Amino acid sequence: MSTSAPFLITTLRIPNPFFEGRNGVYVIHSDPLTLIDTGIATRKARTELQDSLKAENIAIHAIGRIILTHKHIDHVGNAWWLQQESGAEVLIHEMETGSVSNVDPDGDRWRSLVQQRFESWDVPSDLKKETGGARRFAWEIQPARPTAITEGQMIDLGGASLEVIHTPGHTKGSVCLRLDNVLFSGDHILPDISPNIGGGDLKHQGLLTLYLESIQRCKTLASEIDLVLPGHGEAFKHLYQRCQNLYDHHQKRLDDVMAILHQQGPLNVYTMATELFGEIAQMHTVLGCAEAQAHLEYLVNDGRVVCDNNLYTAV
């Protein structure tokens, strides 16, 4: 695909054990040599990243900068190792520097937060136990030294600039990065699936509102973007249409939630999740409930639903 980007961009596909599929790690052959994202914090992913760089004749010690689109472990996971090997600067949005400097290698903090959310979602006790103990997250990750980036910042690549576009929703500090007519979209805009809204940042509320606002903002850029390089899946064109599809997807889900509430009366988050997605288990209990909660919360803020004692009712 033809672009006006001033530098060669190399795409690496790094394995990911989760359902999103392989991660896109992008090398911009600029000055300094720049990586967008790093893959997940497993030995397999790190080894394949190392081998992929070698196959492309890219020396690790030549990497001068790493930019992370958001805080998730499959994007920040190898930043520490690359920084130790190369001395590269690691950049991430100012709201998410702690995900790099204060890591959670055993997943203890994450599991504790999940259990808190399970209480408010009224998740059945057997599923709480199943999800809490089904997978001991043990990442091969160490702290790195992050540098904060902010909305509108222009990152000098030596002859061109990379624009930071803050696109909260999937996480509070998610960013897209624009290089002329190319957009690195992280998980904000994916070609085949909608990123989870709610489960990606359990500490925060209002994520669906933020996501829809960010999608609308990206639509305004679409006429200037010829190619989107996502965090998962293949590169794609037609940014405007993809943004519209994602926006419509969530509007339909909001309509579905309202219809379910009108038909069945007051429901808790867990029951709403099963109505929307069917039987859920293990990690999908977290993601399904969080997505349902994000839509219910949006409707509460919109005045169409009220919440009392963890039960949601259509107005």
> pLDDT tens digits, residue range 69-97?
999 999 999 999 999 999 999 999 999 99
- 32: which 2 tokens? 């300094």
The confidence band for 6, taking pLDDT boundaries of 50, 70 and 90, is confident
> Any idea what the Cα angle at residue 104 is, between residues 100 and 110, rounded to 5°?
115
Mean pLDDT of 60-76: 97
Q: Assess contact for 91 and 146: CB atoms under 8 A.
A: yes
- Taking CA atoms, 85 is separated from 64, 75, 216, in Å, by 11, 18, 39
Mean pLDDT of 3-12: 86
For domain 104-138+251-315, the question of CATH label 1.10.10.10 is answered with yes
H helix or E strand, kind and range, residue 178: strand 175-179
> pLDDT tens digits, residue range 208-219?
999 999 999 999
Question: CATH 3.60.15.10 residue ranges in the chain?
Answer: 1-102+139-237
For the ranges 17-21, 78-82, 107-111, 126-130, which has the lowest average pLDDT?
Answer: 126-130
Number of alpha carbons in the 13 Å side-chain half-sphere of residue 227: 13
The pLDDT, as a whole number, for residue 136 is: 54
Question: CATH 1.10.10.10 residue ranges in the chain?
Answer: 104-138+251-315
Please state the φ and ψ torsions of residue 263, each to the nearest 5 degrees. -80, -35
Q: Is 88 helix (H, G, I), strand (E, B) or coil?
A: coil
DSSP letter at 193 equals S
User: Please, which residues have CB within 8 angstroms of residue 273's CB and are 6 or more apart in sequence?
Assistant: 121, 280, 285, 288, 289, 291, 292
The pLDDT, as a whole number, for residue 265 is: 85
**Alpha helix (H) ranges present in 37-124?**
43-55, 73-76, 79-86, 98-101, 108-121
Mean pLDDT of 178-186: 97
Pairing of strands 63-67, 33-36: parallel
Q: Which of 284, 288, 290 minimizes the C-alpha distance to 130?
A: 284
User: Please, which residues have CB within 8 angstroms of residue 255's CB and are 6 or more apart in sequence?
Assistant: none
Distance CA 166, CA 93 (A): 8
Burial of 293 (0-12, 13-18, 19+ CB in 10 A): buried
* Superfamily (CATH H level) for 1-102+139-237: Ribonuclease Z/Hydroxyacylglutathione hydrolase-like (3.60.15.10)
